[in-house]
Structure formats: C-alpha cells, structure tokens
Amino acid sequence: MKSIIRFIPLILFFLLAVLLYRGLFLNPQSMPSAMIGKPLPNFELPTLKSIEQRVGRDDLQGDIVLLNVWATWCIQCKYEHPYLLNIARDPRIKLYGLNFTDDHKAALNWLKQYQDPYVFSIFDEQGALGLDIGVFGAPETFVIDHTGIIRKRFAGPINDQVWQKEFLPLIETLEAEMAAGAS
C-alpha cells in the first residue's frame, strides 16, 4: 500500500507529461466548424466580375462544391492560389470563390494577375455570407455536398499534402453516397 502511494506523484507526472506532449502537436487553428452538418444558408450577393448580377445558393451548381474564402489582404491565399488552379481541373468538384471583405478593384486585379481558378467568385464586401457560415479568417475552404449540406471546413492554405489527407477521402465518401443514393 505504502509503495503504491509513493508512486502516485510519478504516475501523475507521467499523465501530465503525456497530456502536455500531445498538446505540443495540436493545431489551435483547426477548430471544428459549427456549421458542419448544417445547410448552406441562402444569400443574395453580386459576383466579383459583374457587380449588377445577383447570385444565391442555387447558383453554386455541381455535385460536390468547394467554396474557397479568399481576399487580397490574405497572404496565405497567395500561397495556396497555384494549387487551387490545380484543383479546379478535377472534374469531380466545382470550385467557387468567396471574396471576403475585400477591395473590388484589388480582387479583380488579383484574378487577372494570378489567373482565375473559380467558376465564379461571390463578392462579399460586408462579410455577410462569411458571417453566416462562421468564417473567421482567410483562407478557408468549405465542402458542400449534393444536398446542399456543409460537410467540411478547412481553415488554412491548401497544398498537396492537405488535399490528399483532408479532402480526397471526403470526396470519395461523397461520391459513394451519391452512387448509393442514385441506385
């Protein structure tokens, strides 16, 4: 009995050490979005390229929609941009942009300068749609399934590693779901 008590501090120390060691490798930015499993809220906003036109939820066509939140003030968006051009070629998905609280002219210049990977970009100058889907920064990428439900939010820039690990498995799951639904 006494020898067990003697080891309690050591055991507690190891428990704490394991806990803190794990904490070293957690990413505080990767918070689960509260919007997962909820439908994409409707909106009525202009697109970046034609400010008179209004688009809404139903204009995001495609079975698997990726909605990428970007802005010219966002440095990491510049980093992920070449990879987005890559993703846009994937026939399984449709990539849309959400230009978030940005300057209209600067945003148009950005697309001219670095090419445009998006089917179109929603121009959300006030951040209204951003607020509705719980955006807290850029870049963020949402995956919306064929029924209009938000299935994933990834905060941070996408690169090849992220794409393989975070997105491809989900895209395969969604394809399987659609195949099951159609048959």
Partner 1 sequence: MQNRIDSKSLTLQHVIRLFISSMLLSVVWVTSVNASPVDTFEFKDEATQLRFQVLSKELRCPKCQNQNLADSNSKIAVDLRNNLYNLLQEGMSDQEVIDFMVYRYGDFVLYRPPLKEKTYILWFGPLIILFGFIIGVIFVLRKRSQVKVNEHDLSTQEQANLDDILNKP
35 belongs to the binding site for partner 1 (CB under 8 A): yes
Pairing mode, if any, of strands 150-155 and 140-144? antiparallel
Say if residues 36 and 151 touch (Cβ distance below 8 Å): yes
Helix (H) or strand (E) segment spanning residue 5: helix 2-24
137 belongs to the binding site for partner 1 (CB under 8 A): yes
Residue 131 CB, shortest distance to partner 1, in Å, is: 6
Among 11, 17, 18, 31, contact with partner 1 (rule: CB under 8 A) = 31
Among candidate residues 149, 153, 158, the one with its CA nearest the CA of residue 177: 149
Kindly identify the residues of this chain, within the stretch 111-130, that bind partner 1 according to CB under 8 A: 127, 130
131 belongs to the binding site for partner 1 (CB under 8 A): yes
Cα separation, 156 vs 110, whole angstroms: 19
Among 15, 34, 168, 176, contact with partner 1 (rule: CB under 8 A) = 34
Residue 145 CB, shortest distance to partner 1, in Å, is: 19
99 belongs to the binding site for partner 1 (CB under 8 A): no
Residue owning tokens 């809404």: 56
Among 23, 32, 37, 91, contact with partner 1 (rule: CB under 8 A) = 32
Among candidate residues 72, 82, 141, the one with its CA nearest the CA of residue 117: 82
Residue 133 CB, shortest distance to partner 1, in Å, is: 7
Is 95 or 133 the residue whose CB approaches partner 1 more closely? Answer: 133
Provide the 10 A C-beta neighbour count for residue 182: 7
